[in-house]
């Protein structure tokens, strides 16, 4: 697994993901895995936790849906979730996704769920709950930017979760 964290304040969004890849109990890459990236027209961020090939496949499928639906993220995400749940091939994919643009942050999974958090903070992966809890604790502290919050929260998750490291990629919309 991994840790992906998304934090929103109004139309500002930051997504962070660690760079560790594991194969069972062994660490394969300490810093080379990129699980957070810009997609579509560059105004959408996507991050995945789970099997890397499955996450990349889902991001590619989401990009196709975005093209079909004029970069309307919520509609594209719902269409992807429908396919993911119904398609025999896609149903086998083992990953979770967070997608966000200036208007919405969503979590998608293979059971057809498309969820939007009430408070704008989402964490997925093995360290997701640690990062999310840390981000919630830091969220209202004066003088901390969303990038600062994400960096600190990911450090805490990396300190606790053995499947998360401190090599963090951060994207902002």
- Residue positions annotated with a catalytic role: 2
Beta-carbon contacts of 87 under 8 Å, excluding residues fewer than 6 positions away, are none
Q: How far apart are CA 170 and CA 64, in angstroms?
A: 24
Q: How far apart are CA 56 and CA 148, in angstroms?
A: 27
Q: How far apart are CA 138 and CA 145, in angstroms?
A: 10
Angle formed at CA 80 by CA 75 and CA 85, multiple of 5 degrees: 130
């Amino acid at each position: 697994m991994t840790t992906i964290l998304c934090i929103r304040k109004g139309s500002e969004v930051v997504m962070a993901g660690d760079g560790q890849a594991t194969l069972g109990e062994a660490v394969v890459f300490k810093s080379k895995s990129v699980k957070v990236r810009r997609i579509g027209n560059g105004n959408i961020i996507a991050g995945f936790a789970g099997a890397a090939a499955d996450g990349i496949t889902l991001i590619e499928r989401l990009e196709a849906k975005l093209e079909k639906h004029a970069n309307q993220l919520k509609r594209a995400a719902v269409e992807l979730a429908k396919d993911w749940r119904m398609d025999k091939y896609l149903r086998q994919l083992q990953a979770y996704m967070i997608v966000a643009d200036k208007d919405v942050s969503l979590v998608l999974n293979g059971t057809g769920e498309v969820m939007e958090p009430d408070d704008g903070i989402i964490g997925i992966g093995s360290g997701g709950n640690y990062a999310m809890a840390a981000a919630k604790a830091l969220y209202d502290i004066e003088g901390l930017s969303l990038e600062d919050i994400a960096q600190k929260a990911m450090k805490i998750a990396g300190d606790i979760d053995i499947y998360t490291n401190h090599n963090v990629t951060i994207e902002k919309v």
